[in-house]
Structure 1
Amino acid sequence: MKTVYITRRETFNAAHKLWREDWSEEKNFEVFGRCSNKNWHGHNFTIYVTVKGFPSEETGFVINLKDLSEIIKQEVIEPLDHKNLNLDVPFLQGMLASTENIVIQVWDRIKEPIHAAGGELVKIKLVETENNFVEYYGGKDIY
C-alpha cells in the first residue's frame, strides 16, 4: 500500500496581544513590538491540517474530508473564530497567545479525533500573515 498525505484548509479570524504581565510596557514593546498593543490586534488566520494514511479500498479515501472538516470546525474554528485569544479561549488561558503556542494547543485538540476517523495527523501549518506562519509536526524533530 502507498502512503498518501491529504491537507484540509480552513480559516478563522481572531484577536490577540503578545504581552507578559511580569514585564514592563517598555520591555513588552521592545520584544513584541506592535503586537504588544494594549488595544489588541487581529489576524485572518489560515490553518492547513495534513493527515496521512492508506487509501481505503472501499472509498479511496485516507480520511473522509467531510469528517476532517467537521473535526477542525468543532475543535478549532468554533473555539477560536472571532474571539480574543487571550481572554475568550479556555485552552489558551495562562499562556502567551503566540502562533507557536496556538498551533501546539490545536494539535493536542485534533490529534485523537483524527486518529479515530482513520487518519494520522502529520502537520499543522498556521498562517498568521502572508509573511509569517508556523509549521508543527507534533514535537517530532524533522532534521
Structure 2
Amino acid sequence: MPYLTKQFKFCAAHKYWNNKWDKDKNYQVFGDDIKVHGHNYLLDVTITGEINPESGFIVDIQDIKSIVFENVINILDHSQIEKDIGWFEGKQPSTENLVLFIWEQISSKIEKPAKLYKIKLRETPTIFTEYFGPDINGN
C-alpha cells in the first residue's frame, strides 16, 4: 500500500518543569530546558490507503493541508505549548507528547478509506519522534 507524506512547519516555545520537584531536581532532569525556549518544528504527516483509480490519489492533499492547519498548526504555531494549550495541563511539552496530541487532533478527521499512518515531529536537526498510533490495546 502506498504512503503519502506532507510536511508542515511551525514555531513554538516550551519549558520543562515538574511541580512535584524542587528547582534543583528539575534542573538535574531537564537542564537548561527549565527555561522557556523555542523550536522551529518540522511535522511530517503520513497517510496510507488505496489509490483512487479516478483521481490517482490516496487522498486530496488540500484536505490534509486544511485538517492539519485547522487542528494543529493554528493551535501550536507561536504558542507556549504547556501554557497555552489545555491538553498539556499536567503533561510535559515533549515531542513524545506532542505527537500524541497531534494524532488525537487529526486522526479521526481523515476521510476513509485513507487513514493516518504516522506522525513524525522533528524538534531539532538531531531529535525527532515518530508515532504510528495507538496499539491494539489503545496505548
TM-score, normalised with respect to structure 1: 0.91
- For residue 87 of structure 1, give the secondary structure of its aligned residue in structure 2: helix
Give the total of aligned pairs: 136
Aligned ranges 1:37-116 → 2 under 5 Å:
37=35, 40-114=36-110, 116=111
Please name the residue that 1:130 is paired with.
Answer: 125
2: distance between equivalents of 1:12 and 1:117? Answer: 27
Q: Is the 8 A contact 1:67 1:117 kept in 2?
A: no
2:11 maps to 1:20: no
Unaligned stretches of 5+ residues in structure 1: none
Report % sequence identity.
38
Segments ≥4 residues shifted beyond 6 Å: none
TM-score, normalised with respect to structure 2: 0.93
Amino acid of the structure 2 residue aligned with 1:53: G
Deviation at 1:139, TM superposition (A): 2.9
Bigger Cα displacement from structure 2, 84-93 vs 123-132? 84-93
Deviation at 1:117, TM superposition (A): 5.6
2: distance between equivalents of 1:117 and 1:69? Answer: 16
